C-alpha cells in the first residue's frame, strides 16, 4: 500500500510580521479561508483510488490542480493543527513568537489552544485506520504542521517514507509505503 502525503499549495495571503493577539487570531481565520496563489504543482505518479482532502479550502484547491477531474473524500481528521494566540495582549509581538508559544502550549496540552497534542495524534491515528481499511494506494492533501504528525504516525503503523524534513514546501509530497 502506498500513501502519498502532499502539503497544500501556497496561499494568497500575507500575515503581519508583528501583531497583537487579536490580529494574530483574526489573520489565522482569514488565512484558513484565503484562496491559493495560482501555480502549477506536479502531481505524483501513480493511480490513486482515493484522494483525501481536508475541510480547509486550500487543500481541495491543491487537489483540484494536481488531480483534475477526480473526486475527493473530505475529512476533518487531516485538517491543520489550529493555533491561536498564546495569551491576550495588545503588544505587537513577532509572528514567529506567537507560533512558537502556541505550539509549545499545544505540546503541553494547554487549554488555551483549541487542540492538544494528544488530540492531534488521535486524529492522525484515526485517519490512518481509515486508509488502511481500504488498503489501496491513495493521496492525502493536508497541511504543513499536521503533515509531520501524520508521517510520524504512519511510521509507527509500519510504513516507511522516502524522506523526512524539518519543513515541506507547498505542493511537496512524501511517499509512505508498507
pLDDT in tens, 122-157: 999 999 999 999 889 999 999 999 999 999 999 999
What confidence tens digit (pLDDT) does each residue in 20-32 have? 999 999 999 999 9
Beta carbons of 149 and 120 less than 8 angstroms apart: yes
- Rounded CA-CA distance 87/96 in Å is 15
Distances (CA, A) of 169 to 7, 14, 163: 7, 16, 13
**In the chain, pLDDT over 70 holds for what percent of residues?**
100
pLDDT for position 43: 85
Q: Read off the pLDDT band of 45 (50, 70, 90).
A: confident
pLDDT digits (tens, 9 = 90+) for 62-107: 999 999 989 999 999 999 999 999 999 999 999 999 999 999 999 9
| Residue 40 pLDDT level (bands cut at 50, 70, 90) | confident
In the chain the domains, ranked by start, together with CATH numbers, are: 2-177 (3.40.50.1240)
pLDDT of residue 47: 86
Q: What are phi and psi of 4, to 5 degrees?
A: -100, 115
Amino acid at each position: 500500500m502506498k500513501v502519498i502525503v502532499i502539503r497544500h499549495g501556497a496561499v494568497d495571503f500575507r500575515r503581519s510580521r508583528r501583531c497583537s493577539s487579536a490580529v494574530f487570531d483574526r489573520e489565522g481565520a482569514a488565512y484558513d479561508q484565503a484562496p491559493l496563489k495560482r501555480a502549477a504543482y506536479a502531481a505524483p505518479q501513480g493511480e490513486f483510488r482515493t484522494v483525501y482532502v481536508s475541510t480547509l479550502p486550500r487543500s481541495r484547491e491543491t487537489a483540484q490542480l494536481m488531480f483534475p477531474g477526480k473526486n475527493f473524500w473530505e475529512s476533518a481528521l487531516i485538517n491543520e493543527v489550529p493555533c491561536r494566540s498564546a495569551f491576550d495582549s495588545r503588544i505587537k509581538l513577532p509572528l514567529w513568537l506567537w507560533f512558537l508559544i502556541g505550539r509549545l502550549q499545544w505540546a503541553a496540552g494547554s487549554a488555551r489552544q483549541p487542540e492538544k497534542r494528544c488530540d492531534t495524534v488521535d486524529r492522525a491515528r484515526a485517519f490512518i485506520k481509515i486508509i488502511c481499511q481500504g488498503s489501496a494506494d491513495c493521496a492525502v492533501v493536508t497541511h504543513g504542521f499536521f503533515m509531520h504528525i501524520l508521517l510520524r504516525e504512519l511510521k509507527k503503523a509500519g510504513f516507511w517514507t522516502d524522506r523526512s524534513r524539518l519543513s515541506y514546501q507547498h505542493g511537496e509530497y512524501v511517499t509512505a509505503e508498507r
